[in-house]
């Protein structure tokens, strides 16, 4: 969430940034500043009452020492009133603090200056493109390839659970596992430490990284235990450092994790969700970084280059988009989406998002670092490296050979232990 002092000092920039997002509740900016003013006044009054109480306590002690019990008892009556005042002020202060937090939870991050205004995906900017993005309508879509080679069974998934929960079989399961191991190994080679996190999180973790309350309806909730299935491993991995002050010399912290991901995707329907295009359960390998503020944008560029390398190793045509304000996620200051061109579906498929949250998540998490200048909020970043379903779909659709076989990218063959799918 935003820092109140930043809003106070940069109110015009905050409002302009929110307008880039087409954020309609601009009145929340004034509301949070007004409530915070009441909070600060209440804190001032409470500090004065507590100071007066401490002063009287010392006077009472000295009077008792001097044998002036009657005078001391008179002053003790005053302390009763002060205790009542301090209790009332503490309750009021707590109420204002909670109100400030509740309002801040409703205000999204301020976009970086590079992010342009826009309403939706139509306004995103293409900043890089590589490979031959040529439609090949003669190629089979991946759901037909999956049926032809009996490697993914969508109907069986419906039987077991419901739509959006595919069953991978034989070489399909091996290809899925190969991609996971390939991504983890490449991330480890780039200096990321592997984590195996829990795949369910508590409410505090959801609030910490910004999934709650913004995306509450998109998460699977376990009511009996008050837990949530994770939408991405970013959530548990970043929350490792919730309520933590790290040493400056320990930064950057670079982590990677594989996990299944669970998303309700409420309201999703139509041809764009066919096959692996949009699922309720899918697998993803994530990279997470915790950085000093002055280093976070260089780290973002490094993450972008890393994901580029993964896609080039898989011999897939791709492009990078910088998302406009209206399409940038609630917690992100800037996001770059990677899309792979599907030759069979004749369209671009998103396979990764790489984002810098600046100190927005860190403020919610109370994730700080300490150096010679004192304690300050860190910056957090994360990215998919990579999401498996659409990568798998793209390999099945883009690497089809004239004889109908699927050629496995060379970089992946040591993991699959087969060169073609036939």
Domain boundaries, the chain: 4-104, 121-421
* CATH code of the domain occupying 4-104: 1.10.287.40
The share of the chain scoring above pLDDT 70, in percent, equals 98
Which of these ranges, 54-63, 114-123, 305-314, has the smallest mean pLDDT?
A: 54-63
pLDDT at 143: 97
Sign of CA dihedral 223, 226, 231, 233: negative
State yes or no: pLDDT of 161 exceeds 90: yes
What percentage of the chain's residues is helix, strand, coil (to nearest 5)?
A: 50, 25, 30
Band (5; pLDDT cuts 50, 70, 90): very high
- 394 in a known ligand binding site: no
Tell me if 265 is assigned to a ligand binding site.
yes
Residue 200 CA: distances (Å) to CA of 93, 261, 262: 34, 10, 10
CATH topology of domain 121-421: BirA Bifunctional Protein; domain 2 (3.30.930)
Q: Which of 51-60, 295-304, 348-357 shows the lowest mean pLDDT across its residues?
A: 51-60
Task: Tell whether the model's pLDDT for residue 237 goes beyond 90.
Answer: yes
User: Per the annotation, does 263 bind a ligand?
Assistant: yes
pLDDT digits (tens, 9 = 90+) for 162-197: 999 999 999 999 999 999 999 999 999 999 999 999
Other C-beta atoms lying within 10 Å of the C-beta of residue 200: 16
Residue 217's pLDDT is 85
Beta bridge partners, 321, equal 126, 337
Q: DSSP assignment of 91-143, as one string? A: HHHHHHHHHHHHHHTTSPPPPPTTSPP-SSGGGPEEEEEES-----TTSPPHH
264 is in an annotated binding site: yes
Q: Is the predicted pLDDT of residue 273 greater than 80, yes or no?
A: no
The set of long-range contacts for 302-307, using a CB threshold of 8 Å and a minimum separation of 24, is: 303/354, 303/381, 303/383, 303/385, 304/336, 304/354, 306/186, 306/187, 306/190, 306/385, 307/338, 307/352, 307/354, 307/383, 307/384, 307/385, 307/386
pLDDT band at residue 268 under the 50/70/90 scheme: low
Asked whether residue 268 is marked as a ligand-binding residue, the answer is no
The structure tokens listed for 274 are 């066919």
354 neighbors 303 (Cβ within 8 angstroms): yes
Question: Binding residue per annotation — 382?
Answer: yes
What are the Cα distances from residue 52, in Å, to 39, 43, 56, 82, 324? Answer: 20, 14, 6, 8, 54
Report residue 207 CA to chain centroid gap. Answer: 10
Q: Tens of pLDDT along 361-388?
A: 999 999 999 998 899 999 999 999 999 9
pLDDT at 269 (0 to 100): 55
Q: Which long-range contacts (CB under 8 A, 24 or more apart) does 314-317 make?
A: 314/391, 314/394, 314/395, 314/409, 314/411, 314/412, 315/398, 315/399, 315/409, 315/410, 316/131, 316/340, 316/341, 316/391, 316/394, 316/395, 316/398, 317/130, 317/131, 317/132, 317/133, 317/341, 317/398
CA distance 282 to 263: 9
Band the pLDDT of 266: cuts 50, 70, 90: low
What SS3 string covers 306-321? HHHHHHHHCCCCEEEE
pLDDT band at 74 (very low <50, low <70, confident <90, very high): confident
Strands (E), 176-332: 193-195, 200-202, 221-222, 227-229, 244-247, 253-262, 281-291, 318-322
70 marked ligand binding residue:
no
Q: How many CB atoms are closer than 10 A to CB 294?
A: 8
Find where tokens 């009441």 sit. Answer: 38
The whole-number pLDDT of residue 265 equals 76
Asked whether residue 76 carries a pLDDT value surpassing 80, the answer given is no
pLDDT in tens, 203-224: 999 999 999 987 778 999 999 9
Determine whether the annotation assigns residue 358 to a binding site. Answer: no
To the question of whether residue 21 is assigned a binding role by annotation, the answer is no
Torsion angles phi and psi, residue 289, rounded to 5: -130, 140
Place of tokens 């498996």: 388
Q: Is 350 annotated as a binding residue?
A: yes
């Amino acid at each position: 969430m935003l820092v109140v002092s930043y809003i106070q000092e940069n109110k015009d920039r905050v409002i302009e940034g929110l307008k880039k997002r087409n954020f309609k509740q601009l009145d929340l900016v004034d509301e949070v500043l007004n409530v915070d003013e009441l909070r600060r006044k209440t804190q001032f009054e409470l500090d004065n009452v507590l100071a007066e109480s401490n002063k009287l306590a010392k006077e009472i002690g000295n009077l008792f020492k001097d044998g002036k019990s009657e005078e001391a008892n008179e002053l003790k009556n005053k302390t009763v009133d002060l205790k009542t005042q301090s209790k009332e002020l503490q309750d009021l202060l707590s109420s204002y603090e909670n109100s400030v937090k509740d309002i801040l939870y409703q205000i999204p991050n301020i976009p970086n200056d590079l992010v342009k205004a826009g309403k939706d995906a139509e306004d995103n900017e293409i900043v890089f493109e590589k490979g031959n993005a040529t439609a090949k309508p003669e190629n089979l879509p991946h759901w037909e390839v999956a049926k032809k080679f009996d490697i993914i069974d969508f109907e069986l998934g419906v039987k077991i659970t419901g739509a959006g929960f595919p069953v991978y079989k034989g070489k399909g399961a091996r290809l899925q596992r190969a991609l996971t191991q390939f991504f983890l190994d490449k991330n480890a080679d780039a200096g990321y430490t592997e984590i195996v996190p829990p795949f369910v999180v508590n409410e505090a973790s959801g609030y910490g990284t910004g999934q709650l309350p913004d995306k509450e309806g998109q998460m699977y909730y376990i009511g009996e235990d008050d837990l949530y299935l994770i939408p991405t491993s970013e959530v548990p991995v970043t929350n490792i450092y919730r309520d933590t002050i790290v040493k400056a010399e320990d930064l950057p912290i670079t982590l990677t994790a594989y996990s299944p991901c669970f998303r309700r995707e409420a309201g999703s329907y139509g041809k764009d969700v066919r096959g692996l295009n949009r699922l309720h359960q899918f697998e993803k390998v994530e990279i997470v970084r915790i950085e000093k503020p002055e280093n976070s944008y260089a780290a973002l560029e490094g993450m972008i280059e890393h994901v580029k390398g993964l896609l080039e190793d898989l011999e897939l045509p791709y492009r990078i988009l910088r998302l406009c304000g209206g399409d940038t996620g609630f917690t992100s200051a800037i996001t770059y989406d990677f899309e792979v061109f599907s030759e069979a579906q004749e369209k671009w498929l998103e396979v990764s998002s790489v984002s810098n949250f600046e100190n927005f998540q860190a403020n919610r998490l109370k994730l700080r670092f300490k150096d010679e200048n004192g304690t300050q909020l860190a910056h957090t970043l994360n990215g998919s490296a990579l999401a498996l379903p659409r990568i798998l779909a793209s390999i099945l659709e883009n690497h089809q050979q004239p004889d109908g076989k699927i050629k496995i990218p060379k970089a992946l063959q040591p993991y699959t232990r087969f060169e073609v799918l036939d």
